[in-house]
Amino acid sequence: MRTRVGIIGGGPAGLLLARMLHREGIDCVVLEARTRTYVERRQRAGMLEQGTADALRACGAGARLDAEGLVHHGIELRFERGRHHLDFPALAGRTVTIYAQTEIVKDLVALQLAEGPPLLFEAEAYAIEKPESDAPRIRFRHEGRERTLDCDWVIGCDGFHGIARAAIPAALRRTYTYDFPYSWLGILADVPPSCEELIYARGADGFALHSMRSPSVSRLYLQVPNGTEPSAWPDDRIWRTLDERFATDDGWRLERGPITAKSVTPMRSYVSEPMRHGRLLLAGDAAHIVPPTGAKGLNLAVSDVRLLARAFAERERTGSEQLLDSYSQLCLERVWQATRFSFDMTTMLHAQPGGGAFEQRLQHARLRRIADSPHAAAELAALYTGLPLGG
């Protein structure tokens, strides 16, 4: 097999890039290790920056997003039993949209299977050869056979556990990692959300987040210790802990319903530099991970591929590789801003295990500053709703 751009990974980054390249008339192929059912069911992100929603619309994947996505004008910060609303249009001139990553993946898969370019499921890449040459090659397994895909360019959109990052020689790579000393227990529940906007709560003994998937499905998260097994959290314990962490003095109530999914996610920051080696470029979780408190992971993946698609389109039209040459640097500037923001949100809202009264007073001072100062609130709103693309 041969193509111009070989894309490893059919998550949101790989699928959106394929769609954007296809619309520019640039030939590409997507290899996805898992089945279609698996990638369409993987429960993950839900909060889209305006730029992310606009990018999906611009490539023809906006119909269901516009019909079913929930436009949010702010978030609520909850601490010391009080509620503080942040008004995003007033503070940052932008809104955000709640639309599940599973739905984005379904929309992009359906478009790609209907209109191309080729998307192979159960096609696992196991080697990238000669990335520094003009003719890199991907080796992969598909339908019990070992096959090759010859490319002009290889894009690693294969997530944190993929193979692409390791195809950059270790001597040329720098990685930066921070593991937070807590995890999130996430649930889906068949109950209408108890709020109109997302609630980020610093409860007395830890963090809780109230998000949603639709007018009838709630998505909730709880801070739990690292190494927690979901089975240690029967439904009743989850609801009781959520009640405690969201408790206010004005009698707000969390509605309960049947829990349909439960999983634990560790909280990690990770950045691998550079994001390009010869004709291999990385995008999304393959190059960087942020803790979900800032809701930035999917949005960063989409920003990467928007820049990539723009760079390939420029090369196609003018022959210039200037944007491709600055791709890694442009992405990493944004990635570090998001890493910093996600770190600040995470450390401001979670209980530090073994943390003393001093740390807790500092957290409350940070939260209080955001609640009281329009400048501090505007800074949070600008970063949460998304920085402009640049480039």
> 32, 339, 305, 28: which is closest to 180 by C-alpha?
339
Say whether residue 45 binds ligand PHB (CB under 6 A).
yes
Say whether residue 292 binds ligand PHB (CB under 6 A).
yes
Interatomic CA distance for residues 345 and 223, integer angstroms: 13
Catalytic, out of 22, 210, 296, 350: 296
- Does residue 200 have an active-site annotation? yes
Interatomic CA distance for residues 256 and 368, integer angstroms: 30
> Using CB under 6 A as the criterion, which residues of the chain lie in contact with ligand RFL when the complex forms?
8-14, 31-34, 39, 44-47, 101, 124-125, 157-159, 162-163, 186, 265, 284-285, 292, 295-299, 301
Interatomic CA distance for residues 242 and 252, integer angstroms: 12
Only segment of 43-51, 154-162, 240-248, 360-368 that touches ligand PHB (CB under 6 A) = 43-51
- Does residue 292 have an active-site annotation? yes
Interatomic CA distance for residues 354 and 336, integer angstroms: 28
Say whether residue 301 binds ligand PHB (CB under 6 A).
no
Among 30, 39, 48, 295, binds ligand PHB (CB under 6 A): 295
Provide the token pair at 130.
């000669």
Say whether residue 47 binds ligand PHB (CB under 6 A).
yes
CA 126 to chain centre: 24
Catalytic, out of 99, 182, 200, 221: 200
Among 46, 131, 162, 284, binds ligand PHB (CB under 6 A): 46
- Does residue 73 have an active-site annotation? no
- Are the CB atoms for 283 and 312 separated by under 8 Å? no
- Are the CB atoms for 271 and 339 separated by under 8 Å? yes
- Does residue 38 have an active-site annotation? no
Name the binder of 210 from ligand RFL, ligand PHB, none, CB < 5-8 A by kind.
Answer: none
Name the binder of 219 from ligand PHB, ligand RFL, none, CB < 5-8 A by kind.
Answer: ligand PHB
Interatomic CA distance for residues 235 and 191, integer angstroms: 14
Indicate the DSSP class of residue 166.
G
Least distance from ligand PHB to the Cβ atom of residue 29, Å = 30
Least distance from ligand RFL to the Cβ atom of residue 305, Å = 8
For residue 209, how many C-alpha atoms fall within 13 Å in the half-sphere facing its CB? 25
- Are the CB atoms for 281 and 275 separated by under 8 Å? yes
Q: Kindly report the backbone phi and psi dihedral angles of residue 85, in degrees, each rounded to the nearest multiple of 5, phi listed first.
A: -90, 135
- Does residue 384 have an active-site annotation? yes
Name the binder of 297 from ligand RFL, ligand PHB, none, CB < 5-8 A by kind.
Answer: ligand RFL
Q: Footprint of ligand PHB on this chain (CB under 6 A)? A: 45-47, 198, 209, 211, 219, 292-293, 295
Cite the active site residues: 72, 200, 292, 296, 384
